[in-house]
Structures are given as structure tokens and as C-alpha cells.
Amino acid sequence: MKYIFPTLICILLFNACKDKVMTEEAKKVSISYPTTRMDSTVSDYFGNSIKDPYRWLEDDLSAETGQWVDDQNKVTFGYLDKIPFRNDIKSRLEKLWNYEKFGAPFKEGDYTYFYKNNGLQNQSVLWRKKGVKDAEIFIDPNTFSKDGTTSMAGINFSKDGSKVAYQISEGGSDWRKVIVMDAITKQILEDTLRDVKFSGLSWKGNDGFYYSSYDKPKGSELSAKTDQHKLYYHKLGSSQKSDKVIFGDKIKRRYVGGTVTEDDRYLFISASVSTSGNELYMVDHQDKSGKVITMVDNFESDSYIADNDGSKLYIVTNLGAPNQKIVTTDASTPGIANWKEFIPETENVLDVSTGCGSFFAHYMKDALSFIRQYDYDGKLIRDIQLPGSGTASMGNAKRGEKEIFFSFSNYVTPGNIYKFEPSTGKTELYIKPKINFAPEQYESKQVFYTSKDGTKLPMMISYKKGVKLDGKNPTILYGYGGFNISLTPAFSITNAVWMEQGGIYAVPNLRGGGEYGKKWHDAGTQLKKQNVFDDFITAAEYLIANKYTSSDFLAISGGSNGGLLVGACMTQRPELFKVALPAVGVLDMLRYHTFTAGAGWAYDYGTSEQSKEMFDYILGYSPLHNVKEAKYPATLVTTADHDDRVVPAHSFKFIAALQKNHKGENPVLIRIEKSAGHGAGKPTTKIIEEAADKIGFTLFNMNKSYTIDIKN
């Protein structure tokens, strides 16, 4: 999903506590839930009266909602405080987390830039190096705020690298500020741009840049609907009020973005009403009129510009090619009718990047990477040798550069950075993280299982070698299943600790994702959304049937659209799971489209107002509306007060319903982070604290005593 990014920090682990045994007696913690007022709000959908007694919790500006948040947090943290090994878990996470982490280098002007985190810094620091001189700090986001909750949320340099514009996010909000700076002297050049949202920054020469935003909504900026996105041009030295609207003032589109080619010749504009399917437009900067030329005039496919060579355009598209292909056309005849195949579609999903005068065709085969290098005539140069099975990601390099960097990792291999020379094919290890973790002691294997309707799906299962498959292993089942997002193998510090202690971590590639192209995505959308939940449930059943775990030791986790996944599965099959951890979830499916940019998610979900058939279908799985009197898994809902993507009201209303209807002894709680958003930019301290709380909650509620060992 373009604007809902899966929140991977909701992955849990059970670990570490010095020689402590958790007994059944220790787990008996009494809970008195806050009383949540119910009102008489009712909405009509096609003649159906649907009660919404917790609608008042949608008002994030009200004192009553604020008091409710404080009351819930008091109960939740009171419970978490009683977990005897909670602080030891936190200490273990901090210890393993504390190693240097580097990003792939990239060049701008005379400097080479790279991100670095010393270990426990709240935000990674952007460094730079010129020639043989020592590296220096360029921008340190840790200086933006005392508590680390203000982050850098994107940076773009002018064409010659002499100027830079970077975005900052305060408290995790999607509303951003843009600061413009002289990249050489590091002096601020002008007033800060404000109220920028869902935007890239793309420079036109060195004089100005394009950005996107919405008009500031009336009422709460964290929850009010934002429905019309516009592309602006900001000329340096002018006020933001005078910025020219390039696209979106006369035509309503929810998501609009602009990208300038490396040679500065063209501006390409993508416009869409949902998170799948886009129109495509272009502006030739040599045409002084600024005329916007239509390339694709419908939303029936996804297309973007990979690069240009003079007037020759290279376009990546899934038009007539569900797994994507590259086509070419001349800028003088840019319409679909003139597109010619350049690199054809294959049975594997294609993504494309460029650098050093080459195309890098990044393919996924069963969610695993392989990369092919092509020249600008479409000739295959070579298959790039990767260090193993996992996820490889090419960095950025301009056309004239001689080397490019790529990263590689999987569930048991920390992220390494490699240097690649496109002219020779030479690959060498550039940065290997110094983390106290031994990949050779772990196993990550891919299995295939069959879903309810007979569909075959892959799942990666990772664990420490020697784990006995006796049905008693604490296991995390993590999923997403939506918005064309692919879950590919990636290393996680929290997963490492989980596996270090004998835990199993499993990730199925559900329908709704992008692992097998557009058809796979579409098979988990709208009136087929139940396929995603069935895929996840049958993954759980596979793990149980094959003795990896059992219901007493199975936790399910997911964030955002994955929070919907967890919410739907725990209400459909509450007996199947011991612990449920829905994070920043879309849980009120009848009203999700009324908040912020939620209406743009209709391609995946449909809406309750779309038709009687769609309303009935959504009502049938909406987690909020399917909370009945039942015994539910131990549940820790997590959200944040500044989440303006999936507003916290989803989680508020869901936990209120759960606390009212839950009939079992398992705790059902909500943890509401202050000064945080949907997940991006969250400081390290908050990430570790939340992970420790989730781990502690999970272990504390699994029906077994543990002797947990902390390693030095």
C-alpha cells in the first residue's frame, strides 16, 4: 500500500530475564477496565441501522477522549509493570541493538553521503565525506527535539548537489515541514515550508522543486478528511503562499506526485484516486508554456517512468502485464498506443531501478530476490550474483557514476552492504555490521501450504537449529496481505533475540500482497478480502499440524492493514490463538474512508456506502462489528496519538467493544503511545520500550513457565 506502510516493529519476541521462572501464580494479575461511555449513535446503511456507541472516541480534540486515553494507559501500564522480567527484556534488547548501523552510500555533487546510527541513537545521522577528508556530520535529526520524536522524513538534493531540501515529521505525523539549505555551507536559505503531506521533493535544476500536499483540513488535522492532493512548484526565494499549483486544482485526485528526470528535461506526474491504478502526465521543461501532456488517462493500470535517454522514455507498467514490463516511446508521442515492448513480462514480478548507465531488473521469485543488469538497448549484460536467498535492494547512483551499492539480508542474516561495478560485474562486501549474532546457528526455510480454497502459498519459517518440533514452541505468525505490498525476508533485531531463545518466527505471503503481481493483489481485495484471512488462518493451522507450535503458544501480529488482519482473524477464530497483537489497525471498516486519506484505500477494501452487497460483505468481517460475547486471546492493541494515517479511533473503539464483550480471563488492553504516529520516524527508545512491552505481555500470557536466559 503506497501510504500505509506495513509497521514491522510490532514483531515480537520472547527472550531474556536472568534465571527467572514465570509461574502460573505470577501471572494472576487482576484487571479493572475503565468504563467506556456508550451513546445512542446509529447510522443507516441501505436500511440497516448500525449502532456506533463509541463514536465519541473519534473526537481526538475532546477532553473526554483525552481522559479516556489516560485511563486506559494507566490500566495497561499498571499491568505491564507487574511482569517480573519486563525490564530484563528491555535490557536485552538494548544490548543487542547497540551496534553501528550504516546505510548505502550515495553521491551528490562533490560529496558522498551515508546514514549512520552509533547503536542506540534515536534517529540515524546523515554524514558526508569529500575525497580523502574525514567524514563529517551533515544533518543530525537527534538535535531536532530532546526526546527524539522529531525525525527527518525525506531528503532531496538539487541537480548539482549544491542545495538540499529535507522534510521533518513532528511526533510521527504525516504532516511535514520542509527546510531548504545550502548543502555546501549548511546555512538555512529561506523560511520553512509547512503543511506538506504525502510528498516527495523533486528539484528542477537548482532553482526550485516540486512537492505535493492537501489544503489544511478544518477541525482536527490528525483525523479530518484530506481528499484533494495537489502538485506545487516552489521557487527558491519566494514565499510558500506564491507557490504555483501545477496539477490538482481543477481535477480531484487523492494522490499526486511529480518527478523530474536526471537531465532536468521532463517532469512526470502520477495521479490516482486510490492506492492502485494511476494516470500519467508529462511536462517538457523546454516548452515555456508548461503544458501538461496526457500519457495515460485512466486508472486501469500502474505505470511510472524509469528513466529517459534524450526524448526516449522508458516506462514500467503492468498494462497487459500483471507482473510488469518495461516499454519505450518517444516524448513526442507519449500515449499508450505508441508504447513498444523493451523488457517483456516474465512469470516473476518485476521492479526496476537505474544507475551507472544500466537498468537493474529486480525480480521476485516466491518473494525472494534476483537481479538482472540490462543496457539501454535492452541487452542482458549479466545476472548479478547475490550472497544467498533473501532480499536485495539497489541503492541510488547517477548515470555517469562507476559504482553502485546494494543491500542484502534475510531473516537470519543482518543487512550487509555490497559495492557493485556495473562495467565489470565485480561485487565486494563493503560493510558488514558488527553484531553479536551468528547466522550459521539459525535456519530459515520456505515451505508451501494450501489455503482454504486450494490456493498454494509460500511461508518462511525461521528458528534456531536444533529446535524440537513438539508443538510447544512459542511462535509468532506475522502477516500483512494488502495494497500490493510484498513481505520479503529482512533481518530484525527483535526477531534475532526471539530465535536466540528458541522461538519460531513465521511469515506467510498472503493474497492481497504483491509477491505474485497484480492478480495476486486483486485476489485479496474487496469482495475477495476474506481470502486474506483464510490464508492467515490456514498458515496457523499448518504450523500447528506440523508441530511447530500449538494454539497455547501461538501469537499473531500485524500492523496497519496487518492490524485489520489480526483483528479479523481473532474475531473469526478466537480459540486458535493465545495472543493477538493488532498494531495501528484499520478496525472500523464501515467508517475508515471518512478519516484523513482513508477514502483512497477503497481499491483494496471497497466502502460501506458503495453498494448493499459491499456493505454486507464488509460488515461480515469488520473487526469492530464482529466483537461478540466470547473468550478472546490475550490482546494488546497498540496505537499512537499522532497517527494521522490510520487514526487511533479505530483502536479505541475496538478495545472498548472487546473489553465490554470479552468473557474469558485473558487480558484485553490497549497501549497508546504519546507523541508518535503510524510508525515511521519513531525514536529507538520508543521502539525498544514497545517491543519489550509486547514481548513481556506475550510471554506472560502463554500457559507455560519459562526459565529465560539473558546473554552477556
Q: Worst-scoring range by mean pLDDT, 207-216, 508-517, 698-707? A: 698-707
pLDDT for 25 equals 42
Instruction: Report which of residues 1 and 502 the model is more confident about.
Output: 502
Nearest to 188 by CA among 163, 217, 152: 163
Note the pTM of the prediction, 2 decimals: 0.94
Per-residue cell: 402:
562507476
Q: Report CA dihedral (644, 649, 654, 659) to the nearest 10 degrees.
A: 130
Q: Are the CB atoms for 236 and 190 separated by under 8 Å?
A: yes
User: How far apart, in Å, are the Cα atoms of 426 and each of 379, 404, 418, 429?
Assistant: 19, 11, 10, 10
211 forms bridges with which residues in the sheet?
Answer: 232
Q: Using CA atoms, how far apart are residues 566 and 478, in angstroms rounded to an integer?
A: 9
Count the Cβ atoms, other than its own, within 10 Å of residue 514: 23
Q: Burial of 466 by CB count in 10 Å (0-12 exposed, 13-18 middle, 19+ buried)?
A: exposed
Domains defined along the chain, listed by start: 8-95+438-708 (3.40.50.1820), 100-143 (no CATH), 148-260 (no CATH)
Q: pLDDT tens digit string along 464-480? A: 999 999 999 999 999 99
Q: Using CA atoms, how far apart are residues 124 and 102, in angstroms rounded to an integer?
A: 9
Percent of all residues in the chain with a pLDDT value above 70, rounded to a whole number:
95
Nearest to 122 by CA among 154, 93, 148, 99: 148
pLDDT for 17 equals 36
Percent of all residues in the chain with a pLDDT value above 90, rounded to a whole number:
88
Q: pLDDT tens digit string along 80-125? A: 999 998 998 899 999 999 999 999 999 999 999 999 999 999 999 9
Report residue 21's pLDDT band, with 50, 70 and 90 as the boundaries: very low
Report residue 674's pLDDT band, with 50, 70 and 90 as the boundaries: confident
- With 70 as the cut, is the pLDDT of residue 177 above it? yes
- With 70 as the cut, is the pLDDT of residue 386 above it? yes
- Mean local confidence (pLDDT), 123-138: 95
Q: Report CA dihedral (469, 471, 474, 475) to the nearest 10 degrees.
A: 80
User: How far apart, in Å, are the Cα atoms of 610 and each of 71, 419, 483, 580?
Assistant: 37, 50, 19, 31
DSSP letter assigned to residue 225: -
Count the Cβ atoms, other than its own, within 10 Å of residue 310: 9
Place of cell 565486494: 428
Q: pLDDT tens digit string along 508-541? A: 999 999 999 999 999 999 999 999 999 999 999 9
- Mean local confidence (pLDDT), 570-592: 98
pLDDT for 584 equals 97
- With 60 as the cut, is the pLDDT of residue 261 above it? yes
Count the Cβ atoms, other than its own, within 10 Å of residue 84: 15
Q: Burial of 316 by CB count in 10 Å (0-12 exposed, 13-18 middle, 19+ buried)?
A: buried
Q: Are the CB atoms for 645 and 597 separated by under 8 Å?
A: yes
Q: Report CA dihedral (594, 599, 601, 602) to the nearest 10 degrees.
A: 100
Query: Which amino acid is present at 134?
Result: D
Task: Name the strand (E) or helix (H) holding 668.
Answer: strand 668-673
Q: Worst-scoring range by mean pLDDT, 303-312, 423-432, 641-650? A: 641-650
User: What is the dihedral sign for C-alpha 218, 219, 225, 231?
Assistant: positive
Q: pLDDT tens digit string along 218-234? A: 888 888 889 899 999 99
pLDDT for 497 equals 82
Per-residue cell: 103:
546505510
Report residue 703's pLDDT band, with 50, 70 and 90 as the boundaries: low
Place of cell 490456493: 455
Q: pLDDT tens digit string along 54-81? A: 999 999 999 999 999 999 999 999 999 9
- Mean local confidence (pLDDT), 130-155: 95
Mean pLDDT over each residue of the chain, to the nearest integer: 93
pLDDT for 676 equals 86
Question: HEC states along 553-577?
Answer: HEEEEEECHHHHHHHHHHHHCHHHC
* Rg of the chain in Å (alpha carbons): 25
457 forms bridges with which residues in the sheet?
Answer: 449
Active site residues: 560, 678
Q: Using CA atoms, how far apart are residues 627 and 662, in angstroms rounded to an integer?
A: 8
Question: For the chain, what percentages of helix, strand and coil (3-state, to nearest 5) are there?
Answer: 20, 35, 45
- With 70 as the cut, is the pLDDT of residue 22 above it? no
User: What is the dihedral sign for C-alpha 631, 635, 640, 641?
Assistant: positive
Length of the chain: 712
- With 70 as the cut, is the pLDDT of residue 339 above it? yes
Task: Name the strand (E) or helix (H) holding 90.
Answer: helix 86-97
Report residue 28's pLDDT band, with 50, 70 and 90 as the boundaries: low
- With 60 as the cut, is the pLDDT of residue 644 above it? yes
